[in-house]
Structure 1
Amino acid sequence: MSQLNSVWVFSDNPERYAELFGGAQQWGQQVYAIVQNTDQAQAVMPYGPKCLYVLAQNDALQRTENYAESIAALLKDKHPAMLLLAATKRGKALAARLSVQLNAALVNDATAVDIVDGHICAEHRMYGGLAFAQEKINRPLAIITLAPGVQEPCTSDTSHQCPTETVPYVAPRHEILCRERRAKAASSVDLSKAKRVVGVGRGLAAQDDLKMVHELAAVLNAEVGCSRPIAEGENWMERERYIGVSGVLLKSDLYLTLGISGQIQHMVGGNGAKVIVAINKDKNAPIFNYADYGLVGDIYKVVPALISQFEPLIPLSTTSPAVNAAGREHNACRMTNLMPLWSVRALLVALPHWSWHEPGWMSW
């Protein structure tokens, strides 16, 4: 794969810079970064940019979209081949403005980027995740918003140093300022980085039943995710745990689904897992078309049985304990030490009552 001369990155969410740099270093010979303040500049410098550009007028109440004119003025003089942004709501709004001002091609929510014979090719979802489109950019500048979980984060080098320049603020024609910000209660989980995920769907009858799901996840050293109805319909779980076309894209080693039907909008987010194990009492559920292993069974019988089978296999540790929902101590490393990459075979043979239904399938 050939490389572009220069790739620029910007994110309104500082946590996405590592991932953006992972892609930028792969696709460009030189990487430049635009940040909103000096604190971000110090945090981003270890990722290895050739130069850092700090936006002026970085008031805490400033809206990200208001920087469009400032960034456009900067890039007009630099002539980059690609600008990478995080595919957040603000990031996509900024990208749209920049696309108009710079007469650039724009691809939102890119799931893959490649450089073929000097041309930028980007893949993105369409029709609500029913299909993927591949775009070949024919403009001098491509603006791409990268979907979360697409690119591996780059490594950091704290010894790296680079020049830092200030970007003058160019006020937009119609400046909209934020008058107040209120902290949003958010989960600290980042499912796009999780190695193992247990996902739950409408097969769960009550919110209190999440207790057994969290207990199973603790035994497996996994994070808990959900389908859209659980997060946005029932409000049983945080929005950050929603897996799907407008939610998180998984890159996990394992995705264990409990009572999830497997609609395409959900599987766009879950299909990136290396191994998918589905448990659903409906043998005709679409999830079984995606699953590497499927079990036709009632999650209210299967989940407690899995917990009872796995817990005795994992000795408790007195170091760095964490208390799970059931109040028992679990060491975060014990499952990893016992079964690297989480052996699916161990899951399949854990319950003697399971029987093979078809190759790769079982029934209770």
Structure 2
Amino acid sequence: MKALVFSDEPKNAMEIITYLRGKMDIDVISQENKELPEYGANTVYFYSNGFVDNLGKFLADYIGKNNYDFIFISSTNMGRELAGILSFKLKMKCMPEIFSFEHKEKNITRRFYHGGKTVVEEESNFKMFTVSPGICEAEKADKKSEVKNLTLEKSDYKIVDVKSKKTAGTDIRNAKVIVSIGRGLGSQENIEKIMPLVDVLHAEISGSRPVCLDYKWLSEDKQVGLSGKKVRPDFYIALGISGQIQHIAGIRGSKTIIAINKDKSAPIFEECDYGLVGDLFTIVPQLVEKLKN
């Protein structure tokens, strides 16, 4: 079997290639990145100045002329738009937002459903899929890909200005340890009370949707969850987070989840590996002291 992977974010392409590696031969189209050829694809095609119009035209022509069994598109803003364009142009049905893929007599995929409240497993003969970021942890391969550069037609779009979102620190998706806060923290001023735990663990700080979007205690790029970022740390420590399914959808890839919450019936305790019921402002200083020693 042979698959084409497209992602305008090379990191997502690395994850998809790693996930599919060994199951099928893979070509990938992405923006230039010096590490991408090290993840095991047969051929890596780099493009520049790509927009939905010229990329949509190129991909439709390229897929139409090449016999790929499957098309996997990273579910970014651009990826989702391109998937719609390609579905129309190629008359090809698309299964959206998958986080699991298995090919038997039919394709078996899994994706979150009803806003992340449940997981649906589906059988289909679809050939095109959008893939949720974080499908697995990217790992380099032994072989190196052949690299080719693409020439796209001139786009009708032109960038006249770029205004980056305000970010705070490094990308939490790359963190090995994350300390995450929820409404149970009480106030933005209380963040400084949990920073000694963040510091002693050399962790990144993140938050739930209310913390980042509603109360703005943390910047938007620190939000974890279905509508935020999906993370895969070695340790995820949830402080005062109730654990609604939309948040759990963002942390399922974590190797170890530790929860501290004074509500013993909080849903987070059904998902964590270790849970502590109690006042986080009492427990966190004790943890810090133990870790220092």
Q: What's the TM-score, normalizing by structure 2?
A: 0.89
Cross-structure match for 1:354: none
Is 1:45 matched up with 2:62?
Answer: no
Cross-structure match for 1:109: 97
Identify unmatched segments of 5+ residues in structure 1.
314-364
* Cα separation, partners in 2 of 1:301 and 1:22, compared to 1, 3 Å: same
Which secondary structure state, in structure 2, belongs to the residue aligned with residue 288 of structure 1?
helix
Work out whether residues 4 and 26 of structure 2, in 8 Å CA contact, stay in contact via their aligned partners in 1: yes
Shift of 1:163: 5.5
**Which of residues 158, 162, 173 is equivalent to 2:146?**
162
Q: How does 1:266-277 map to 2 (within 5 A)?
A: 266-277=247-258
**Which of residues 109, 119, 142 is equivalent to 1:132?**
119
Q: Match of 1:291, as an amino acid?
A: C
Give the Cα–Cα distance (whole angstroms) in 2 for the partners of residues 72 and 63 of structure 1: 14
Give the Cα–Cα distance (whole angstroms) in 1 for the partners of residues 177 and 89 of structure 2: 42
Which secondary structure state, in structure 1, belongs to the residue aligned with residue 242 of structure 2?
coil
Give the Cα–Cα distance (whole angstroms) in 1 for the partners of residues 36 and 221 of structure 2: 24
Q: Match of 1:305, as an amino acid?
A: Q
Greater displacement, 80-89 / 247-256: 247-256
Shift of 1:235: 1.5
Work out whether residues 208 and 225 of structure 2, in 8 Å CA contact, stay in contact via their aligned partners in 1: yes
Cross-structure match for 1:280: 261
Give the Cα–Cα distance (whole angstroms) in 2 for the partners of residues 122 and 65 of structure 1: 29
Q: Match of 2:261, as an amino acid?
A: N
Which secondary structure state, in structure 1, belongs to the residue aligned with residue 265 of structure 2?
coil
Greater displacement, 78-87 / 161-170: 161-170
Spell out, residue by residue over 1:52-96, the C-alpha distance to the aligned partner (whole angstroms, 9 max, x if none): 3344xx33xx53454111111011010211122221111111111
Cross-structure match for 1:231: 212
Work out whether residues 231 and 241 of structure 1, in 8 Å CA contact, stay in contact via their aligned partners in 2: yes
Q: Match of 1:27, as an amino acid?
A: K
Cross-structure match for 1:94: 82
Q: Match of 1:280, as an amino acid?
A: N
Shift of 1:180: 2.0
Greater displacement, 271-280 / 238-247: 271-280
* Cα separation, partners in 2 of 1:80 and 1:233, compared to 1, 3 Å: same
**Which of residues 17, 38, 43 is equivalent to 2:13?**
17
Which secondary structure state, in structure 2, belongs to the residue aligned with residue 269 of structure 1?
coil
**Which of residues 3, 6, 9 is equivalent to 2:2?**
6
Spell out, residue by residue over 1:331-361, the C-alpha distance to the aligned partner (whole angstroms, 9 max, x if none): xxxxxxxxxxxxxxxxxxxxxxxxxxxxxxx
Q: What's the TM-score, normalizing by structure 1?
A: 0.73
Is 1:73 matched up with 2:73?
Answer: no
Give the Cα–Cα distance (whole angstroms) in 2 for the partners of residues 101 and 183 of structure 1: 32
Work out whether residues 16 and 135 of structure 2, in 8 Å CA contact, stay in contact via their aligned partners in 1: no
Shift of 1:205: 2.1
**Which of residues 270, 277, 284 is equivalent to 1:296?**
277
Work out whether residues 243 and 268 of structure 2, in 8 Å CA contact, stay in contact via their aligned partners in 1: yes
Shift of 1:183: 3.0
**Which of residues 199, 207, 219 is equivalent to 2:180?**
199
Give the Cα–Cα distance (whole angstroms) in 2 for the partners of residues 206 and 63 of structure 1: 42
Identity in percent: 29
Is 1:32 matched up with 2:27?
Answer: yes
Greater displacement, 190-199 / 295-304: 190-199
* Cα separation, partners in 2 of 1:306 and 1:138, compared to 1, 3 Å: same
Identify unmatched segments of 5+ residues in structure 2.
none
* Cα separation, partners in 2 of 1:121 and 1:309, compared to 1, 3 Å: same
Work out whether residues 54 and 152 of structure 2, in 8 Å CA contact, stay in contact via their aligned partners in 1: no
Work out whether residues 12 and 134 of structure 2, in 8 Å CA contact, stay in contact via their aligned partners in 1: no
Give the Cα–Cα distance (whole angstroms) in 1 for the partners of residues 177 and 145 of structure 2: 36
Give the Cα–Cα distance (whole angstroms) in 2 for the partners of residues 196 and 53 of structure 1: 34
Q: Match of 1:113, as an amino acid?
A: F
Give the Cα–Cα distance (whole angstroms) in 2 for the partners of residues 48 and 283 of structure 1: 46
Cross-structure match for 1:332: none
Work out whether residues 212 and 220 of structure 2, in 8 Å CA contact, stay in contact via their aligned partners in 1: yes
Q: How does 1:141-160 map to 2 (within 5 A)?
A: 142-156=127-141, 160=144
Cross-structure match for 1:217: 198
Which secondary structure state, in structure 2, belongs to the residue aligned with residue 27 of structure 1?
coil
Q: Match of 2:110, as an amino acid?
A: E
Computed over aligned residues only, the root mean square deviation of the Cα atoms, in angstroms, reads 2.4
Work out whether residues 44 and 145 of structure 2, in 8 Å CA contact, stay in contact via their aligned partners in 1: no
Work out whether residues 46 and 147 of structure 2, in 8 Å CA contact, stay in contact via their aligned partners in 1: no
Work out whether residues 13 and 30 of structure 2, in 8 Å CA contact, stay in contact via their aligned partners in 1: no
* Cα separation, partners in 2 of 1:183 and 1:255, compared to 1, 3 Å: closer
Work out whether residues 66 and 176 of structure 1, in 8 Å CA contact, stay in contact via their aligned partners in 2: no
Work out whether residues 11 and 35 of structure 1, in 8 Å CA contact, stay in contact via their aligned partners in 2: yes
Matched residues, number: 293
